Each structure stands twice: as structure tokens, then as C-alpha cells.
Amino acid sequence: MRHIIRYGPRELDTASLVRRAVMDGGFKHDVETMEAWAGWLKQRHKPEPPTEAVWLSTYLLEDVLERVQKNPGIVWYHQRAIAEKLEELGGVDVYYSGGRNPEEATADDGPIALSAAPRSGHTQGKNLQVEWGRNYILSPSSNATLWEQLLGRTHRPGQPRDTVEAVVYTHTDPLKDAVSRAKADAQAKQEREGQRQKLLYADWHLTD
């Protein structure tokens, strides 16, 4: 799954999408993938082993917390371990999937952190544009649709600011690759559907 998510079709960027594609016959001519799938079917009944997040360094979270204190905005995280560590470090009000409604938060109360996971509910339908105009994205996705939804929480009608900003962390090759794939996906989506994509008409600037 990791190999397909990283090197396969751009639209297959989560384990559930890969699983569905295999089950629907999308890889029936890929012998190696089908053999791996057959081997997995024999093991899938076993419970997942317990896991624990082990932090080697919190420099990234310390960096975003320093930035968001100077220039308040929304911190978008993906993994729950990041949310828990942000909460532990303090300085930002963390909202979990299925929890409190972030639309009730105000900038006067301080910065907030929201889940950017596809099914979190925070990247769709929320009206956050009045209070917020800056985003900090810790784990950029390769999925153009998710980008359009996430940026659309603040870049939408009712936004009183002239400019909406997004600080995107691309300090590793996989994160750079995710953004490149997302732009390519956005280009294909724009050509296919005729709808302008925020990733493509945004102004991009490299910063330290």
C-alpha cells in the first residue's frame, strides 16, 4: 500500500482507496500486487498490534507554535499523535474530529488546531473565514480535492481580508513530493472539470 500510495496513480493516496481499487479489480493484471493482496487476506483477521508514537524531536511543533503565536491562524494537523503533542506543549486550542465545533472559536481566544484528515469534517463545510485568514499546514496532502476543501475554509466569500495565507511545511522530500503531486492532480482536475483550483492560482513563495 505504501508503494502504491507513493508511486501509483495520484487518486490513490489513502489505504482505503488502494484497498477498494484492488477489490474492484483495478490491479488484476499486476501480479506482484495481487500476490501481496492474497498474502494479506490470510493475515487480515489478526488484530492490529498495539502502537505508540515515539517522538525523536518536537522541533517542528515548536516552530509552528512560535509562528502561530506571532501571527495567529489555524494549524492543520493530520495524525492524532501530533494533536496530542500540540495539546501537551500548549499555546494552541486543539479540536479533534467529531468534537467541538471550531466555528464557535474566535481569534481573540487564540490560535486553533484542526484535523486535515479526509473524514475529519473540519475541511468541509466549516465557515471559518471571518475569524481566520492564515493557515499552517503541517502534513500537506497529495490530494487536490482535499487541498481545495481545506483552503476553502478560509478562502471563500465572507473573508474580510485581502489575502489568505497558507504556510506549508515542505522540509522533507516526501512532503515536497506530496505538494508536487497535488499540483499535478489539481491541473488534471481543472482541465477535466473546468473549475479553477486554488493550488494553481495561489502565489507561491519559498521561505525559511
pTM score: 0.79
98: left (phi over 0), alpha (psi -120 to 50) or beta: left
Q: Domain residues of the chain, as ranges?
A: 2-41, 59-201
CATH topology of domain 59-201: Rossmann fold (3.40.50)
| Predicted confidence pLDDT, tens digits, the chain (208 residues) | 888 887 788 778 788 888 888 888 888 888 988 998 899 889 988 998 888 889 999 999 999 999 999 999 999 999 999 999 999 999 999 999 888 899 999 999 999 999 998 767 787 778 899 999 999 999 999 889 999 999 999 999 999 999 999 999 999 999 999 999 999 999 999 999 999 999 999 999 988 7
The Cα 126–Cα 39 span in angstroms is 42
